[in-house]
Structures are given as structure tokens and as C-alpha cells.
Amino acid sequence: MELQETTSSPNEFFVTSEPIMQCATNALMLISKLGKIHLKANADLIPNAVSVANIITENFLKNNSKIEKIILDLSLIHISEPTRPRLISYAVFCL
């Protein structure tokens, strides 16, 4: 399951279901290019985003970077039946 969003800025990196180390490497390449990124994930990929953020800050950059903030946004969206809302979570990590 990949997160797709119609509007994004150049410093946004969306965590997908690709292997975590590959995702962390891709995010690191974007950090080296832009200096700062917003790491984003949706629902079941939030644990992957946490892992990517930890790999980048603790392993790749050896604690020379930090996670500035973590934002969790919970919203109700209706899937198929209007009477059965489903809670969807969304996380943003600013590295």
C-alpha cells in the first residue's frame, strides 16, 4: 500500500511499502539534496516511518540530525457504507 497525495512540496518524502532500508536510503538522498525533509506516512505505514526516521538520525547521520516534531492526524473517512466510519491515521516527521 503506497501513500499517494495530490499536492506535495519538494521536501516531502512519502514512506511506501518498499523495504525500510531502501526507503531510508532514498530519504537520506533527499535530505542531502534539500537539507531538511518532511517524512510522511499513512495508517499501517506509520511504523515504517518511525523506523526510517530512527535509521536516518541514529545510524546514517550518527545523531548529527534530529526529529524536530511528529504530527499525528486522525480523521474520519467513510469507506463504502456511510454509517460505518473508519479511523485513518497519518503521521508527519520533520527531519
Q: Report the pLDDT value the prediction gives residue 85, as an integer from 0 to 100.
A: 47
Residue 78's pLDDT band, with cuts at 50, 70 and 90, is: very low
Strand partners, 73: 90
- The predicted model gives 74-79 an average pLDDT of 47
The whole-chain average pLDDT of the chain stands at 75
Q: Is 40 within 8 Å of 69 (Cβ atoms)?
A: no
pTM exceeding 0.75? no
Residues in the chain: 95
Q: Distance between CA atoms of 60 and 79, rounded to whole angstroms?
A: 39
